[in-house]
Amino acid sequence: MAGKKSWTWITTPLLTIAFFAAWKGYVYWFDVSPFILPAPEKVLIAVWHLLHEELIFNHIRVTMTETLVGFFFASVIGVGLGVLLGKVHWLEKALNPFIVATQVVPKIALVPLFIVWFGFGITSKVIIAAVLAFFPILTNTLLGIKSLDAGHRDVMASINASRWDTFRHLDLPSAMPYILTGMEVGIVLATIGAVVGEYLGGNEGLGFLAVDTMAAFEVDALFGVIILLTLLGFGLYACVVALRRVLTPWHESVQVHRPKDN
């Protein structure tokens, strides 16, 4: 097990190096214009310069705030509504057509409408992030509540457990792996929503900075902003993934990645 874990830590850096080497080779051998694809070392230099700019951390803070606040509201409403629909079957059947209809709507196309309704400030970005993150959290929560084993419910009924005790000791723990899966997807979509909102209507944030560098034809800086966005999104995703180890240490998805004792 230890050998496999060490091999994983080796392959990731090697793949990263291979990616940048292929990038550099493509730019060099095909003589690609820096206005189309700058060399990786120029992008890394641009990232270094961005990190030393006075306002860069304010842009990062704004994008992170929009993402986390939108994700919070999406999680609270999505989990709450998912539990309610999973418990009240007639309500699920009544609202299911509306849920499906809202899922098939291209939500990115609604971004300009949200900006018109809520302005160019942080509110519209938070709402966009929440809307994009809401549906995977809702659907996974609903799936988790509906996937409970009937025998477990019978056991709770046999000991005369109250509805609250059944929910706290059976429903919520059993549905938590599904909920966390929805949250892992949701945090990614929330980041995308915040950035798209900044891209279409904003004056701060990494999405706005990407538009600003593109308008100035600073392609290397644009790629630098993209790298910062990637690192931000990856960090937020990793935090949600870490919750799985904290909240569901008993689940197979966590146990399979833990080293076994000899």
CATH superfamily, domain 58-248, is: MetI-like (1.10.3720.10)
Q: How far is CA 110 from CA 34, 66, 107, 181, 197, in A?
A: 34, 17, 5, 25, 10
pLDDT given for residue 262 in this prediction: 45
> Which two structure tokens, joined as six digits, stand for 73?
């509201």
Question: What's the CA gap between 221 and 208, in Å, rounded?
Answer: 13
pLDDT mean values, one per 10 residues, the chain (262 residues): 60 86 89 86 90 88 94 94 87 84 78 83 90 92 81 64 67 84 94 89 86 87 92 93 80 57 46
Q: DSSP readout, 165-229?
A: HHIIIIIHHHHHHHHHHHHHHHHHHHHHHHHHHHHHS-SSSHHHHHHHHHHTT-HHHHHHHHHHH
pLDDT given for residue 230 in this prediction: 92
pLDDT given for residue 215 in this prediction: 85
Domain ranges (residues) in the chain: 58-248
Are 242 and 165 spatial neighbours (Cβ–Cβ below 8 Å)?
Answer: no
